[in-house]
Chain A
């Protein structure tokens, strides 16, 4: 059996006396979209930053396709990519320049044709020579996603990719991510505060509270299992009464 796309084991990050992530262990499998949920400060972005190699864990291991990020950073990051609402692409480069720049860094083969495919796929042909800084937030998100798919990543990390998008554009984006997960060999780790979106997109969710996984399961059945009507109710409970849920 091939290894999980992402395997996180006993991941911990501590800043002085503050524990941001406390012994996380989880996996993301092929063709799977896993939602990483939790209130602000739960440790979602810290976890994503550690998986992206821009934050060193205090302890624990991160394996992507069986390769250890700590010892095979280049190999791991070559098959990983991400899009985050707080990491827009440089606004002083055009769409095509940004995609060429990152395509070269990721070592994408047949880069010109790959960029053309992504421009078509994300409806960006009209903006290819437009500087990213003047695009609307929806258009910028599409460019970020095109960049995130440049290297056909095995592991795609999406940190609130649809935040600040209107419902119509958000739906389009969700559709494209679902297509990505279903069609290839990749898996997706997705964070969002939109529980409707999470229930719609994710195969599995992990609820984080104070850096630990509090609950895990199918977003469609998990609320009922914990006596809640909707995923949003469950989210609110995790945010307000994590101890009660932990005891249950």
Chain B
């Protein structure tokens, strides 16, 4: 049975760490704010030079905002997990009655809190400084965020599993994951731009449906809720895969003694 108290403890720990360290607070909003400013001016420039009358703000700046939200969600999960890696806390944590669903639930709640800060900062900057109106997307904005949120959670949990399996140094494999996925999901261009073999991969990634939908809304004034439903279905498959993967890695770590001697990295 999942209890809320231990899950809350994980969130509270993140709060304590933020409270005591401005270095942890700054990245919550600084990088997304820089992204909004950079891409905000970029879209203004494109609007000015294209001369087509096409407004790049909702298609490009909106896409960057949604992509950054996904990245923040994923990194919210992994960063909360890395705190236990960095402080060599696995033995203390996993020798408690805390269950894996409670632990992962705490990582997810921490991520919701930290990603929300970034989202609010991006929304404020994009709307007030660059005139991005979310009315363009209508109610589809909610499934957009949902699809990206669920995918961010699942990739975050998979990232935690990889670091648990391969040791602290494998953290450097996790940070670039969003950059690796970005070309495949068409954040900045339609999927039709990609070669056929890449489009096959795109179809397996839920964010592809969000960004294709977003462009369709901006260009043709019509989105496809069914395509988004497919994105949600893929998300659920990714969540199941991530849960199985982390649980499998955790049990492997308990069987081999990896948790007890985590920093050794070399246990098979």
Q: Which residues of A contact B (CB under 8 A)?
A: 15, 45-46, 49, 52-56, 73-75, 77-78, 80, 82, 84, 86-94, 97, 100-102, 104-107, 131, 147
Contact = CB atoms under 8 A, between A and B. Distances in A.
Contact of B16 (A75, A89, A101): A101
Interface residues of B, number: 32
A52 B99 CA distance: 14
B91 A84 contact: yes
Contacts of A88: 88
Contact of B94 (A53, A74, A92, A94): A53
Contacts of A75: 97
Main secondary structure of the interface of B (DSSP, over half): helix
Contacts of B260: 45, 49, 54-55
Interface stretch (B4-12, B47-55, B126-134, B183-191): B4-12
Contacts, number: 91
Main secondary structure of the interface of A (DSSP, over half): mixed
B9 A92 contact: no
Contact of A107 (B5, B99, B254): B5
Contact of A102 (B83, B87, B96, B256): B96
Interface string B88-107: 11111111111100000000
B21 A92 contact: yes
Contacts of A80: 95
Contact of B87 (A49, A73, A91, A97): A91
B92 A87 contact: yes
Interface in B212-246: none
B3 A107 contact: yes
A45 B260 CA distance: 9
B13 A106 contact: no
Contacts of A15: 256-257
B6 A107 contact: yes
Contacts of A91: 87
B113 to A, nearest CB: 16
Contacts of B21: 92
